[in-house]
Structure 1
Amino acid sequence: MDFGIKDSIVAIITIDKSVVSSNTIPVFYASSEEHKERLALLIAKVTMGMVHDLENGSYVVVRH
């Protein structure tokens, strides 16, 4: 039996072009704050994940 919670990062959404893309986690670059928020929401809906604000201009979508 598995008693632990397995968290997995589904995506990173940011406006900051200096965020380096990862080999394992997709990074989506938004053109504006509104676009970033909408993109994060849509990715979370599709993947059944949760959006978390990293407070550095980036969102991360995590599946709990």
Structure 2
Amino acid sequence: MDYGIKELIIAIITTNRELVSGGTAPIFYVENDEKKEEKALLVSKTTMGMVHDIGDGTYIVVKH
């Protein structure tokens, strides 16, 4: 059997504070697109998740 966390949003990284708030996943607010990409890459590497651009200045890191 394969146990573990699957199909879960691990983190939200955004430049738009008005678009994202609350929820169960940690939210990282960053100043610009460069910081957004950097933070998303670091979170995805440490959690073995995948980064998805959902538009409006927001990335999500998802465990598939």
TM-based fold match above 0.5: yes
Query: Could you list the runs of 5+ residues in structure 1 that have no partner in the other structure?
Result: none
TM-score by length of 2: 0.85
Q: How high is the sequence identity, in percent, across the aligned residues?
A: 53
The residue type equivalent to 2:55 in the other structure is E
> Partner of 1:55 in structure 2?
55
Find the residue that maps to 1:54 and give its secondary structure: strand
Runs of 4 or more above 6 Å deviation: none
> Partner of 2:42 in structure 1?
42
CA drift of 1:21 comes to 2.6
Q: Distance in 2 between matches of 1:21 and 1:36?
A: 19
Query: Could you list the runs of 5+ residues in structure 2 that have no partner in the other structure?
Result: none
- Tell me the C-alpha RMSD between the 2 structures: 1.4
Q: Distance in 1 between matches of 2:35 and 2:7?
A: 25
